Structures are given as structure tokens and as C-alpha cells.
A and B are shown apart, each in its own frame.
Chain A
Amino acid sequence: MTALPWDLQLLNTLAALLLLLSFAMLSQRRIVSLVNLLALQGALLVVATLLLAWRTGDRHLYVSATLTLGLKVFFLPWLLHRLIRRLGVYWDTEPLLNITATMLVGVLIVIFSFGLAQPISALASTATRNSIGIAVAVILIAFLTMITRRKAMSQVVGFLSMENGLFFGAMSATYGMPMIVELGVALDVLVAMLVLGVFFFQIREQFDSLDLKNLESLKEDQ
């Protein structure tokens, strides 16, 4: 087997770290750490984007790296930390499924994702095609995080982690979406978080807590 050039090796390492962070998020119950992990995931994305930009000489990837840095590494974590302080939610309650079982499901998800991504990776001509499976795994694990958590804040972190996975997927499959789309997506994420900020205060005002078990009254058999 021939050795990969160093930059590709580095990219693969970054992809592996991204997945590792997803698992860390899956098991983390302290919400402050959860947000820090999210910021770290964003930082890895920035490094990966810059590396790809340098490798391909594609100028729009530099713009997209700057955008990610501003939005996902600085602004959103800052906003979430502020919300955590103002709302005083530091710990998530016991997840719906215990941590060990969740991790095992996570491992199964990774295997499934690689199977799912196989046909796409085979067709991709990008240098990063091996990472497509990882991107799918990050998306699905974020999904699992959302399902197993009770606090609104952890679900939001899961949601953003899913967005990170999507971004990484777009990058590994096609070196990123067209600029106009990427800008639009970033705008949507930004607005979504601002809306959520307002929303959290409304929930708190009404229930004195951000626990989602308060939000389970609208069922069919009332």
C-alpha cells in the first residue's frame, strides 16, 4: 500500500477526530462542556476547510472557512454560553437511554453509515472521499444525541452538531456547495439560533425550567 501524502493523512485524522468528538458529545452530560465540544468540532472543520482550500487553491473555500470560524467557533458558542448563564441550566438530567447503551448504538450507526456512503465514496473524485462515511456518521450520531436528551439546550447542541456533519459532508463530497447556498444556510442557522434564544426565554417564563418533559402534554389521547 502506498503512503498517502501528508496533507491527506492529516485530513483523515481530522475526520476521525470529528467523529470522536461526536461520541464525546453523546456521552457528555454537562451542558457547558457540550457547548465547548461543539466549538471544538467547529474549529476542526475550519482547519479541514483551510487544508482543502490550500490543497485545491479554491478561493471560495477560504471564505467558507472564515464564515465557519466566525459563526461556529465564536458566535454560536458565545451565544449558547450566554444563554446557559442567563437561564442557569448547567446539567442535563439522566438521558433516556443509559450512556453505555447509547455508545453501543453509536458504534452500530458508524458501521451503517459507512455502508450507506459506500456507493457515493466509490463515485467521488475528491481527495476526501473516504470521509463521506464519517460525515454521515456525524449526522446520525447528532440525531441520536437529540433523541436521547431531555433538556432543550442539549437538543439544540445536537442540532448544530448535525449541521456540522452536513457541512463536512458537503465538503468531502464536492468541496462545498456554491457560495450563495452556503451563505443562505449560514444565515438560516444564525436566525434559527436567535429565534431559539427568544424561544427559550418564553419556555422558561412559562415553566420555570427548560426540561422537555414539560412539553409532553399535546398527545392524541388527551
Chain B
Amino acid sequence: MEFLILLGTPLLGAMTLGLLGERRWAPEANVGFSLLTFLAACALTSRVVAHGNLLVAREQFFIDAFNVFLVTLTAFVGFTTALFSRPYMRIELMHGRVSTAQLRLYHSMYQLFTATMLIALTTNNMGLMWVAMEAATLSTVLLVTLYRTPASLEAGWKYFILCGVGISQALFGTILLYFAAEKILGSAGVSALLWTHLNSVKDQLEPAVLGLAFVFLLVGYGTKVGLAPLHNWLPDAHAEGPTPISAVLSGLLLNVAMYAVVRCKVLVEGSLHSSLPGRMLMGFGLLSVVLAAFFLWRQRDVKRLFAYSSIEHMGIIAFAFGMGGPVANFAALLHMTVHSLTKSSIFFAVGHATQKAGSQLMDNIRGLITLSPTVGWGLMMGTLAILGTPPFGVFASEFLILTTAMKQQPWATPILLLALGVAFAAIFGRVQSMVFGSTTAKRLPHPPALVPVFAHLGLVLTLGFFIPPYLADWYRAAARLIGGE
């Protein structure tokens, strides 16, 4: 029941807002639908925590320890972003950057995007997961090009083609997976693509085929995660689309794609009995961290800056999942959570800041602290959090990842530390001059929505001090699951 509401609400929302999205209350309706989705996710979570895993709709959908926390996170950030988008998009409308018809498209696609991500997370069918991931790209392409500027069209085209080609590789990987599974599970019925069934027979699957399948799956879903060298679409799409979309792309879509990679890795590792998939993930991860850290120095656009920071963090997560083992998996899951919360709160603050300054170029943004102390402090704290300064949750997860790396992969630790240091210097210097300094910009007509910013940062701060026991249990259960037990 909760499950039906969870998937039904955003779909219903997409239809309603698609038909009636030009009304004045559309932004509020968007918030309402997102809130309902979030409440359904909470109800679902409490049920899974109380009664264990859930299989619904002839096993086509399932909830276990790994995806349930991502479902809640997705619904939560989806809700807070809707809160942020309400005043933000109203101001864009007043500035004449979007028309009411475009706003209707925006709201409808926002709900559809949430729905596709939730389907990708909860489906048990690897084929459906592919379909939902592709649908997530399609629902956001027209949002990236919402402003119709030359740069946004270019970004949208790149996003469409690169992710389209990437995801085709993942489809081939899925076909190979089905090919291997069909021999064991039989093609009668549709059980040969169900993850739970595959997981129970994974050590009988043909290693040669699964190894090849994983290469295609990693390249395919890895493109969507934004792993280097397949990351080119990511900074453009983040910089040129509306800021609420940057927040959900960075905070949620990348997580969902990473989730798909990890689900595949569990199967392949079980079949191969070797660390090859893990090593591949570590390699791509490390490359992304290093590349992103050095690209950070060359950025002038504030949204591009934080998009590169997302690539860096996805690299760290991929590296941690690649190392494997209970501690590294635990840390990677924690990092997924805190990165998602922190990065979306940064994009909220950046969104208000760019609207005030009327420009996304960092040279034009000055003196946020005098203009609006809350936006200024929000951006400053968010930046400190994402850079891994101690009291915040990102510090806890990065610390865990680094200490595990010292034990398991000592060669990688100096590289990671160096990249983190370079990223720190690059981002901190820029943000400092944006927050402090003098300014002449004017106040905006609608008060900014700052509750989401501080709610997210508060959560990240709490996670840095103390992880509630049920959450820790949950992470541990998920980490065990990923470890293949």
C-alpha cells in the first residue's frame, strides 16, 4: 500500500501538473506531491525496518536494506528541493527567463523524474532498471534546455547523446546478463532478470560472460554516475539547467546510477570470485577524483565548480565500493547520504546567490554575507561540510574511507589525500571571496527558501557527531548485502 502511494504519487503529480501546471498554485502543488511521496517513503521505511524485506507485484519490485535508505533519501531531497524551487522559479518567471508554459513542463517533468528514480531504485528487474534509468535521462533533457540559451541547448544535446550512448552499453550488458542467467534459471517466465533470483544463483553464472557484461554495465551506468573519462556531460548539464535541477541531478541521480553499478557488482563478484570488478571500480573512482580535483582550478562558473566537486565525490564513493569489505561499504553508503544532503544544500545556497548577483560567474558574485547573511553562511557552511572539515558527516565518511584505504590499498592513500587537498584549496579560496567582500546587488522580490539549506546541513552535522543506532544497523545490513553475504 505504502509502495503504491510512493510510486503513484509522483506519476499522478506529473499528470496533474502537466495538465494544470499553468495555475498559480502549481509550485505549491509540486511541494504537496513531493511531501506525500516523502511521507509514503517514511511509512515504507518503518515497515521494512519492522518486518524485513518486501517483494511486491509478482516480485517485480522489492525493498531491502540497501535500497530502502536510498528511497527515503531520494524522497526527502526531492521534497526539500521542491520547497527551494518554489520561490526560485517564481523569481525566474519574474526575470522573464522562463514562461508559464515552460514552468508547466518544468513541474510536470520534476515529478516524472522523481518517479523514474524511485522506480529505478525499487525495481527487482534489471531490465526495468535500465528502462527507468533511460527514462530519468529523457525526463531531464528538456529541463536542462529550459532556458533555451545556446549554451543550455549544447549542454542538453551533450547530455542526451552521451548518456544515450552510455546507457546503450548498459543495455548490452543487461542482455549479456540475461544470456548468462537464462542458462541457469530458464527463459520461461521472467525470473531470469530478477535481481533476487540472480543473486541466489550468482555463483553458477558463467564468469566469462559476466565479466564482459560488467565492463559494459560499468561503462554504461558509469557514464550516468559521471565517472571520468565519461563525465563530460555532467558539468555542462549542471551549469546550464535551472538550479533546482542541478541539485537533484547531483544529489540524487548520481546516487541512483551508483546504486545500479553496485547492484551489478554484487552479482558479478559472486560469479567471478575475483576482485576484478572491485579493481575496475577503484580505477575509475581514483581517476575521477584526481581529474576532478585538478579541473576544479580552472572553473569560473560557480555551478560548474560544484559539478566537478560532485564528480570528485562520486569517484571517492566508487573507490570505496571498489575496495569492498564491511567498513568500506559502510563508509561509501554514509558518504552517499552526506554528499547528497550537502551538495543539494550548496546548490540551494548557490541558486539564491546567483539570482542575487544576476550571474553565475564567480568573479561577479561578491559580498554574500552583507547581502544576505543566511545565504552567505549557508554557502560557507555547506562548502566547509563538503570539503570534509571535522564536525560534519562528510569528514566521518572520508575518514573511514581513508583509514580503510591505508589498510587495504596503501598505494592509493597519498593520491586520495593529495586530490582532497587540491580540491580543498581550489574550492575554499573561491567561496571565501564570494561570501566576504563588498557588493552593490539589490534585494530580491521573494524571500529565499533557506529552511532546506539549514535542514540538510543540520542533518549532515548530526551525522558527523552521532549516527542513530537504527540508521547504523541499517547501513551495516546494507554493507553486508553488498559484501555478498
Would you give the shortest CB distance from A126 to chain B, in whole angstroms? 9
Residue numbers in A under 8 Å from B50 (CB-CB): none
Residue numbers in A under 8 Å from B447 (CB-CB): none
Q: Contact: A119 with B212, CB < 8 Å?
A: yes
Would you give the shortest CB distance from B176 to chain A, in whole angstroms? 7
Which of B145, B175, B206 is in CB contact (< 8 Å) with A123?
B206
Would you give the shortest CB distance from A107 to chain B, in whole angstroms? 21
- Give CA–CA (A1, B374) in the complex, Å: 81
Residue numbers in A under 8 Å from B295 (CB-CB): 220
| A191: Cβ under 8 A from any B Cβ | yes
Q: Contact: B157 with A215, CB < 8 Å?
A: yes
| B345: Cβ under 8 A from any A Cβ | no
Residue numbers in B under 8 Å from A207 (CB-CB): 150, 153
Which of A116, A152, A177, A205 is in CB contact (< 8 Å) with B178?
A177
Stretch among A72-80, A95-103, A166-174 lining the B interface? A166-174
- Give CA–CA (A214, B138) in the complex, Å: 22
Stretch among B68-76, B160-168, B410-418 lining the A interface? B160-168
| A104: Cβ under 8 A from any B Cβ | no
Residue numbers in A under 8 Å from B171 (CB-CB): 166, 185
Which A164-194 residues have a C-beta within 8 angstroms of B? 166, 169-170, 173-175, 177-181, 184-185, 187-188, 191-192
Q: Contact: B128 with A170, CB < 8 Å?
A: no
Would you give the shortest CB distance from A22 to chain B, in whole angstroms? 15
Which B137-183 residues have a C-beta within 8 angstroms of A? 138, 141-142, 145, 148-151, 153-158, 160-161, 164-165, 168, 171-172, 174-176, 178-179, 182-183
Stretch among A9-17, A25-33, A44-52, A155-163 lining the B interface? A155-163
Q: Contact: B155 with A119, CB < 8 Å?
A: no
Residue of B nearest to A143 (CB): B165
Q: Contact: B141 with A162, CB < 8 Å?
A: no
Residue numbers in B under 8 Å from A187 (CB-CB): 131
Stretch among A63-71, A83-91, A195-203 lining the B interface? A195-203
Residue numbers in A under 8 Å from B240 (CB-CB): 218
- Give CA–CA (A202, B113) in the complex, Å: 21
| A124: Cβ under 8 A from any B Cβ | yes
Stretch among B187-195, B452-460, B462-470 lining the A interface? B187-195
Q: Contact: A215 with B158, CB < 8 Å?
A: yes
Would you give the shortest CB distance from A83 to chain B, in whole angstroms? 15
Which A101-126 residues have a C-beta within 8 angstroms of B? 116, 119-120, 123-125
Q: Contact: A120 with B165, CB < 8 Å?
A: no
**With A180-B190, A217-B150 given, is the CB distance from A166 to B157 under 8 Å?**
no
Which of A170, A180, A192, A196 is in CB contact (< 8 Å) with B175?
A170
| B236: Cβ under 8 A from any A Cβ | yes
Residue of B nearest to A198 (CB): B142
Q: Contact: A181 with B142, CB < 8 Å?
A: no
- Give CA–CA (A53, B464) in the complex, Å: 59
Residue of B nearest to A124 (CB): B179
Residue numbers in A under 8 Å from B187 (CB-CB): 174-175
Tally chain B residues at the interface, Cβ within 8 Å: 49
Q: Contact: B161 with A120, CB < 8 Å?
A: no
Residue numbers in B under 8 Å from A34 (CB-CB): none
Q: Contact: B179 with A218, CB < 8 Å?
A: no
**With A174-B179, A177-B178 given, is the CB distance from A184 to B131 under 8 Å?**
yes
Q: Contact: A185 with B131, CB < 8 Å?
A: yes
- Give CA–CA (A124, B168) in the complex, Å: 22
Q: Contact: B298 with A220, CB < 8 Å?
A: yes
Q: Contact: B148 with A206, CB < 8 Å?
A: yes
Residue numbers in B under 8 Å from A123 (CB-CB): 183, 206, 208-209
A contacts with B: majority SS: helix
Q: Contact: A178 with B192, CB < 8 Å?
A: yes
Residue numbers in A under 8 Å from B183 (CB-CB): 123, 125
Q: Contact: A196 with B150, CB < 8 Å?
A: no
Residue numbers in A under 8 Å from B149 (CB-CB): 206
Q: Contact: A159 with B161, CB < 8 Å?
A: yes
Residue of A nearest to B155 (CB): A218
- Give CA–CA (A166, B160) in the complex, Å: 18
Q: Contact: A195 with B212, CB < 8 Å?
A: no
| A39: Cβ under 8 A from any B Cβ | no
| B134: Cβ under 8 A from any A Cβ | yes
Residue numbers in A under 8 Å from B165 (CB-CB): 143, 146, 159, 162
Q: Contact: B172 with A166, CB < 8 Å?
A: yes
**With A166-B168, A169-B172, A185-B171 given, is the CB distance from A152 to B157 under 8 Å?**
yes
- Give CA–CA (A203, B158) in the complex, Å: 13
**With A123-B208, A166-B172 given, is the CB distance from A192 to B155 under 8 Å?**
no
Residue numbers in B under 8 Å from A174 (CB-CB): 175, 178-179, 182, 187
Which of B60, B141, B190 is in CB contact (< 8 Å) with A199?
B141
Residue of A nearest to B301 (CB): A222
Would you give the shortest CB distance from A48 to chain B, in whole angstroms? 16
| A38: Cβ under 8 A from any B Cβ | no
| B9: Cβ under 8 A from any A Cβ | no
| A137: Cβ under 8 A from any B Cβ | no
Residue numbers in A under 8 Å from B206 (CB-CB): 123
| A19: Cβ under 8 A from any B Cβ | no
Residue of A nearest to B150 (CB): A206
Residue of A nearest to B151 (CB): A218
| A139: Cβ under 8 A from any B Cβ | yes
What are 23 A-B pairs at a CB distance below 8 A?
A: A119-B208, A120-B179, A146-B165, A162-B165, A166-B175, A173-B175, A174-B182, A178-B127, A178-B190, A180-B127, A188-B134, A191-B135, A192-B134, A192-B138, A192-B164, A195-B141, A199-B142, A199-B145, A202-B145, A206-B150, A207-B150, A207-B153, A215-B153
The 9 closest A-B pairs by CB, nearest first: A181-B127, A184-B131, A215-B154, A178-B190, A173-B179, A188-B134, A170-B175, A119-B208, A218-B236
Identify the A interface with B (CB < 8 A).
116, 119-120, 123-125, 139, 143, 146, 152, 155, 159, 162-163, 166, 169-170, 173-175, 177-181, 184-185, 187-188, 191-192, 195-196, 198-199, 202-203, 205-207, 212, 214-218, 220-222
Given contacts A143-B165, A174-B179, A206-B153, 12 further A-B contacts (CB under 8 A): A169-B172, A178-B190, A180-B127, A181-B193, A184-B127, A188-B131, A192-B134, A198-B142, A199-B145, A199-B156, A202-B145, A215-B158
